[in-house]
Structure 1
Amino acid sequence: MSKFSVVLRPLSLLLAAGLLMPVPEAHAQRVSARDREKITALQTRMTQAEQRYVAALALVEAADPKGGGEADAALEDMEDVLAECVNQRGCQLGGLLASYKRLLKGQVDGTTSEDELGISSGPVLADPDHVAPLVADVPEAARAAQLLNDHRHAFDEMVEYNPAVQAGIRRWLTDMRPALLTSYENYMNLRAVMWPEWEKRGLPEALLFGIMAKESNGRVHATSRAGAAGLMQFMPATGRRFGLGPDGTGFDTRYDARSAAEASAAYINERMGPLNRNIEMALAAYNGGEGRAARVYRQSGGQSFWSQWSYNEFPAETRDYVPMVIAAAWIFLHPQQYGVEFPRVNAQPTTIKLAKSTTIYELTICLGSNNTRDGYMRVLRNMNPRYQADGWIPAGTTINATTRIAGLYNRYCVSGPRADLARALITADVNAAIIRPQANALHASVAVGDISNAQDAAPVVAPPAAAPARSTPRSHTVARGDTLSSIARRYACSVGQLARANNLRAPAYALRPGQKLSLEGCRAR
């Protein structure tokens, strides 16, 4: 990894504008001695952070794995200083910005040539507002250097910004705003494995986000009634054409983020070739069928999707789909224009080797929320699509995560009160809450009275005979996704009964597809 793989975080236009505003001299003279001490402390912290960052670059150049983390931490320190300076009376932001600009200039000047780094001299495909660490070495520093320049994006020139797209933007910014923000969070956590597949095929990142937001809101396990599945909603037949589908282990690779990104990029490029690189027509093919799109394009003489004849040849779903995808992509590229503040997502990828058996449900509980809206269940499920949320994952298994999740796991999920609480909650048996009467409690005691009054008593009516119990299978074959709890509910057993009958050990109760379980003591419902 070269030192240029370490990325400076871009400042927003608003913050940058504030940093460049000079502070009036008269104002500076009114600063108290205490404020001056605080300003000096901020300047010292900025200098130390700059030195720490330079030292981290040396580690990166020496192939020391600690370098990347040290560089990120140093940049976070600089951002904290700048944020505090904004609120500190008399703090001159322009001076503190100089450190950041020196580092940024050093990274860009250090590159040998644009061709060697693979940077186009035209508008970039990835928007600097959404720069985040990637698995692949992507020269983001040069992109960040263009942040203060009001360049248009390549995607802006590839689509029409018309009233239909504007109506789509309106919908995303009103009743669909929560879905937009959720899609963004989900995408950023998967960006490291998805975006490189589109980038190396020359496709705009904004288009990837727009399709994913409209198709699945970034939920890896999304399915449709028609049979489409995964982030990019591939139908089975189309998926097979591009290498997606059952992989022999029972897992459908349509649910794998990297595979879905690679296949969707290949599909879009395949469609755009005969459609003269027309994004709207390619999107219409993606949603409304490639045969229909090819026919409409051919019969219209290559007219735009928005021409009246072409537009009316597509079903209503496709006429809605195309502008909604473009609208989501447009907001992704221009969030500030629409007052959208996308959540900051710490998505540096890493892995966790599980110290003990667990489930994604259990991890969700012990990890907590930690400055997120919804916790980490969706992130874990998206990054580990092979595992069911309530399926036990054996100790020693390596799962995908982020650096933040890894830190929280080691702190809260390996041992301690929260880990114990999560285990208690995840293994709680609903059947154990049911208070069952003792057999002798069914016979109420009766006082003996005057026998002469017995004839006046109401006749005793025998209770109706109990319906014959339904026969219960003697065994159950475990299917994929079965848990001991779900099997117990199905056959009206307790988890403990099933575990004892089959010599299963708590708390994991590990099951495997095809395993036969004895249903001793169970009864059918």
Structure 2
Amino acid sequence: MPVSITIFRRCSLLLAVLLLAAAPTAHAQRVSARDKARVEAIEQRMAAAEKRYADALLLVANADPKGTTEGDAALEDMEDVIDACIGQKGCQVGTLLATYKRLLKHQSDERADGADELAGDRLEADPDHAGPLRADVPEAARAAALLNDHRHAFDEMVEYNPAIQAGIRRWLTDMRPALLTSYENYMNLRPVMWPEWEKRGLPEALLFGIMAKESNGRVHASSRAGAAGLMQFMPATGRRFGLGPDGTGFDTRFDARSAAEASASYMIERMGQLNRNIELALAAYNGGEGRAQRVYNQSGGQGFWTESVYSQFPGETKDYVPMVIAAAWIFLHPQQYGVEFPKVNAQPATIRLAKSTTIYELTICLGSTGTRDGYMRVLRNLNPRYEADGWIPAGTPINATTRIATLYNRQCVSGPRADLARAVITADLNAAIKRPQAAAYNGNVAVGDVQSMAAAAAAPRPATRSYTVAKGDTLGRIASRFQCQVPTLARANGLRAPAYAIRPGQSLKLEGCGR
């Protein structure tokens, strides 16, 4: 709750107390039947406001943003009731104030329990994502409704059947760690992903379900078939929706905001052609849009669960559709299934690096305060252009969260943790090998030694270092890994801009590289 609102309410409460002290007691008043009826109505209004506030607490417990709005409105209702009571003969203001004070105290305790001791000042928005982040998108409070009932549009858009229940069973047993990891990864990416789905009117739960099934929220995920990124776009489909090499050696399928925008556009397109049927749209996402459209047309518009339709999809798609919906269902109804998703402080921020570093080094110096597994995945997801072991120059702005920014300034710029991280990250395995000492020089040089030295002097210098391209490599990643400039590396290997096309197994000369 904003501080100004809290102060205003406390002032209102204090004013009410002062007025109550100045008001005559109920015993000193003669109350008519009409006044009694009005007092009864006021007390009923207070009871209704209290119930509204209690309902809001349930929404807040489910991470539903409506909870905050409803809670604020309920408190305002109570203030109005108290004002009415003060001016109403026979109304017991003290009783109403006791209710109001109790609820305010409960709210204060809730905020204190959830306070983030490491919250720092928000840094300037990263230039790469300044637009998509939008100033009006709160960090982790906005969402489609997360209620444990059927007031969600998504609940009415899909069929909750035994196949979905079986998918829920899998997510809550063997795949529970993957579900929780997917949620934590998603919440850190949410400020750049959810707006792209929200403005197209698509359910957030569906975005989470697809991402959880496709990649578990790992930006750099890729498949043997060539699908890549959080939403696992194939190259051809990605190109249709603006994804692919951007001319710098980076594939935008690995960019969270771009992938979210493309996947939302894809789902809008598919649902528009499949009678807004989510199951069939998901079947198209996994099994091919041509197949899904053909089956839909041949069936006369029957749904995915109709046997004649269901039987025409491959086993992978039959598994994919219910698993996505199951993950989405748990996302909407966590308490119903006893799921306590991790609390994630994901308010966006940027860090301008005080010195050159790597994501590995940052992971070490940041530690794991406030997270289960440290911050490497968060940093990699928010900064997909950088390899984990690639050196990032000083002065570079990188995407982060306010918690990471606070920890960075505290532990990574200087001090014992920063020194330790640098020592660990630059440790050379070869330095651990103990080698025999060379024989002591005794002042005599044999002819054979002279010849050996002459031969060594005449020997050609070692050839330029080379690197064999691995699957998934781009020129940008290779340049980052070996501290090269992309244009220099491209010229040395005869690669043409903007594609800088390379292939697995190709040998590249590492000219001009620092490592």
**Is 1:287 aligned with 2:309?**
no
RMSD, aligned CA = 3.8
User: Which of 92, 95, 110 is the matching residue for 2:101?
Assistant: 95
Contact 1:188 1:345 in 2 (8 A): yes
Q: Secondary structure at the match of 2:349?
A: strand
Instruction: Report how far residue 96 of structure 1 moved.
Output: 3.6
State the distance in 2 between where 1:365 and 1:357 align. Answer: 15
Tell me the distance in 1 between the aligned counterparts of 2:303 and 2:144: 36
Q: How does 1:51-62 map to 2 (within 5 A)?
A: none
> Is the CA contact 2:140–2:190 (under 8 Å) kept in the aligned structure 1?
no
Q: Structure 2 unaligned segments of length 5 or more: list them.
A: 7-52, 63-71, 77-97, 109-132, 441-459, 468-474, 493-508
Asked if the contact 2:351–2:400 (Cα under 8 Å) also holds between the matched residues in 1, the reply is yes
The one-letter code sitting in structure 2 at the alignment partner of 1:475 is: T
Gaps of at least 5 residues in structure 1 are: 17-49, 55-91, 103-133, 442-470, 488-509, 520-525
Partners of 1:99 and 1:141 lie apart in 2 by 24
* Aligned counterparts of 1:145 and 1:197: Cα–Cα separation in 2: 13
What pairs with 1:393-404 in structure 2 (closer than 5 Å)? Answer: 393-404=392-403
1:512 matched residue in structure 2: 485
CA deviations 1:366-415 (Å, max 9, x no partner) are 00000211000000000000000000000000000000000000000000
Measured against aligned partners, the alpha-carbon deviations of 1:481-521 in whole angstroms (never above 9, x if no partner) come to 4489x88xxxxxxxxxxxxxxxxxxxxxx4334447899xx
- For 2:484, the aligned partner's letter is L
Instruction: Describe the SS at the equivalent of 2:218.
Output: coil
CA contact (8 A) 1:136 1:196 kept: no
Q: Which residue of 2 aligns with 1:463?
A: none
Find the aligned partners of 2:437 and 2:162 in 1 and give their Cα distance. 72
Q: Normalising by the residue count of structure 1, what TM-score does the alignment of the two structures yield?
A: 0.63
Contact conserved, 2:197 with 2:204, CA < 8 A, in 1?
Answer: yes
The number of equivalent residue pairs is 364
Q: Does 1:411 align with 2:410?
A: yes
Q: Are 1:354 and 1:398, in contact at CA under 8 Å, matched by a contact in 2?
A: yes
Distance 1:160 1:410 in 2: 49
Partner of 1:359: 358
Q: Tell me by how many angstroms 1:139 deviates.
A: 8.9
Distance 1:164 1:330 in 2: 12
Does the Cα contact within 8 Å between 2:360 and 2:389 map onto a contact in 1?
Answer: yes
Distance in 2 (alpha carbons) for counterparts of 1:196 and 1:303 = 32
Q: Greater CA deviation, 180-189 or 471-480?
A: 471-480
Mark the CA change 1:152 to 1:5 in structure 2 (over 3 Å): closer, same or farther. farther
Displacement after TM superposition at 1:274 (Å): 1.1
In 1, Cα distance between equivalents of 2:171 and 2:201: 26
Distance 1:5 1:285 in 2: 48
Per the alignment, residue 230 of structure 1 pairs with 229
**Judging changes above 3 Å, is the alpha-carbon distance between structure 1 residues 414 and 11 closer, same or farther for their aligned structure 2 residues?**
farther
Q: Which residue of the partner structure matches residue 318 of structure 1?
A: 317
Indicate the SS of the match to 1:440: coil
Q: Summarize the Cα distance change of 1:237–1:352 in structure 2 as closer, same or farther, 3 Å threshold.
A: same
AA partner of residue 315 (structure 1): P
Structure 1 contact 5–138 (Cα < 8 Å) conserved? no
> Residue type matched to 2:158 in 1?
V
The answer on 1:475 being equivalent to 2:481 is no
How far apart are residue 432 of structure 1 and its match? 1.2
How is 1:208-219 mapped onto 2 (pairs within 5 angstroms)? 208-219=207-218
Give the 3-state SS of the residue equivalent to 1:399 in structure 2: strand
Counterparts of 2:139 and 2:371 in 1: how far apart (Å)? 26
Contact 1:474–1:518 at 8 Å: present in 2 too?
no
Aligned to 1:258: 257
Offset of residue 97 of structure 1: 2.0
Q: Secondary structure at the match of 1:395?
A: coil
Q: Report the 3-state secondary structure (helix = DSSP H, G, I; strand = E; otherwise coil) of the residue aligned with 1:219.
A: coil
Kindly state the Cα deviation for residue 365 of structure 1 after the two structures are TM-superposed: 0.2
User: C-alpha deviations, 1:39-97, integer Å up to 9, x for none?
Assistant: xxxxxxxxxxx9xxx9xxxxxxxxxxxxxxxxxxxxxxxxxxxxxxxxxxxxx997342
Could you list the per-position Cα deviations for residues 98-154 of structure 1 after superposition, in whole angstroms to 9, with x for gaps in the alignment? Answer: 36779xxxxxxxxxxxxxxxxxxxxxxxxxxxxxxx745259999899888955211
CA distance in structure 1 between the aligned counterparts of 2:145 and 2:464, rounded to whole angstroms: 66
The correspondence of residues 110-259 of structure 1 with structure 2, limited to 5 A, is 135-137=134-136, 152-259=151-258
Aligned partners of 1:309 and 1:424: how far apart in 2? 63
Distance 1:328 1:414 in 2: 40
Matching residue of 1:430: 429
Separation in structure 2 between the aligned mates of residue 136 and residue 158 of structure 1, nearest angstrom:
31
Amino acid at match of 1:512: Q
Deviation at 1:434, TM superposition (A): 1.4
Contact 1:247/1:253 (<8 A) preserved:
yes
Q: Indicate how the Cα distance of structure 1 residues 227 and 518 shifts in structure 2: closer, same or farther if over 3 A, else same.
A: closer
- Give the structure 2 partner of residue 297 of structure 1: 296
* Aligned ranges 1:67-86 → 2 under 5 Å: none
